[in-house]
């Protein structure tokens, strides 16, 4: 597993946890922060590695 995959999984899990806490506490900022973390993890899916220029 690459470090980027680890980062994506960590962001997605943290986002889901934060979203769950936001629902449990009825705190809208936590829900939006959780959604944002999941969105960043999803956007990282499309980030390509730079081409090797050797």
Torsion-angle region of 26 (φ positive above 0: left; ψ -120 to 50: alpha; else: beta):
left
- Does residue 2 have a pLDDT over 90? no
Task: Output helix, strand, coil percentages for the chain, rounded to the nearest 5.
Answer: 75, 0, 25
Give the pLDDT confidence of 16-51 residue by residue, as tens digits. 999 999 999 999 999 999 999 999 999 999 988 777
Tell me 1's DSSP state: -
Q: How far apart are CA 45 and CA 54, in angstroms?
A: 25
Cα-to-chain-centroid distance, residue 38: 4
Domain boundaries, the chain: 3-44
């Amino acid at each position: 597993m690459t470090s980027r995959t680890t980062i994506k999984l960590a962001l997605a899990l943290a986002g889901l946890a934060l979203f769950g806490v936001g629902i449990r506490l009825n705190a809208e900022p936590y829900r939006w922060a959780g959604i944002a973390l999941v969105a960043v993890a999803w956007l990282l899916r499309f980030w390509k590695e730079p081409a090797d220029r050797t």
